[in-house]
Amino acid sequence: VGVACCLSRMTGFRVDEDEIAYIALHIGGNLENYQKQKERLICVLVCPQYYDMSDVMSEKISREFSDSLLIRSIITNVSELVAVKTADLIISTVTLQPGRWEHVVTVNPFLRSNDLENIRREIFEIHRERKRESLKSMLLQMTSPELFCRNDSHFTQEEILSFMIDRMEGLGYVGPSFREEVKEREKHSTTAFGRLAVPHALALNAFRTGIYILLSEKPIAWDEHQVNLILLFAVNREDRTMFHEVFDNLIVLLLENHNLEQALSCQSYEEFVDTLTML
């Protein structure tokens, strides 16, 4: 949407939602590739040397998990493992004693299909744990009990946005221009995704970064959608990386209907944060 706004200012033509989606496909594809490389886990392979078995295993694992694993070292004697300082995952052909390594997958030296599946499952689990920890940490930085509200009355989109913006302005998160900036963003394309709405301004000029969370028992008409959960984002430029990560992760989580239902059932701010980080 930001790119589309720049194009509109430069050319005088309004970029419609179909064209915005086309832009998003190109940018999103490149960001996805970058993110995959950045999130590769550091792996140590433990395999007693027997001819070239460790090399064959390493090559097969690297080929199978090129996007998610980086084999940092190959250890042919278990005693050498104590010298390893950091590793996200240990893949071993021998059973290791329980110790400092939380994530260990024991595999057959010939790497059968179930071994590969076990490695894949452990990679998924590591990423899920990290995302939970990261999301909770960032949510606690960007939210607070004073930015949480439950609504059981009928309001229009304009009324509910005005209420939330007034609240954020009164708490010192945003200035007077924030209201028009949020409205301007809504004009370009809806910020509703099913029963979730994530209004925000394109300018990252909030005094403080924050998310106002509003849960509504009665659906609120939001363009062509009926929303029950509204997350109003106010973002300071210094927190833009954190904003993008929280924004993307929350949308992915809350587009799942059963996740959204769990979030909507929360009665307090603390319960809401705990629920989101365990989904």
Record the pTM: 0.74
Phi and psi torsions of 196, nearest 5°: -115, 135
Residue type present at position 174: V
Contacts of 191 (CB under 8 A, 6+ apart): 185, 197, 198, 199, 200
**What rounded mean pLDDT belongs to the chain?**
91
With a pLDDT cut of 90, the percent of the chain lying above it is 67
Burial track 136-154 (b if 16+ CB lie within 10 A, e otherwise): eebbeebbeeebbbebeee
What would the two tokens of residue 105 be? 């997958």
Q: What is the pLDDT of residue 37?
A: 67
With a pLDDT cut of 70, the percent of the chain lying above it is 97
Q: What is the pLDDT of residue 29?
A: 80
Q: What is the pLDDT of residue 131?
A: 87
C-alpha span between 262 and 71 (Å, rounded):
39
Q: What is the pLDDT of residue 266?
A: 97
* Closest-CA residue to 87 (of 98, 100, 106): 100
**Helix (H, G, I), strand (E, B), or coil: what is residue 1?**
coil
Residue 51: pLDDT over 80? no
Q: What is the pLDDT of residue 118?
A: 97
Q: Check residue 95 and report its DSSP letter.
A: P
| Tens digits of residue pLDDT in 118-137 | 999 999 999 989 888 999 99
Q: What is the pLDDT of residue 146?
A: 96
| Tens digits of residue pLDDT in 69-87 | 999 999 988 888 888 888 9
Question: 89 pLDDT band (50/70/90 cuts)?
Answer: very high
Q: What is the pLDDT of residue 154?
A: 87
Question: 100 pLDDT band (50/70/90 cuts)?
Answer: confident
Q: Sheet harboring 41-46: ordered strands across?
A: 69-75, 41-46, 89-92, 104-106
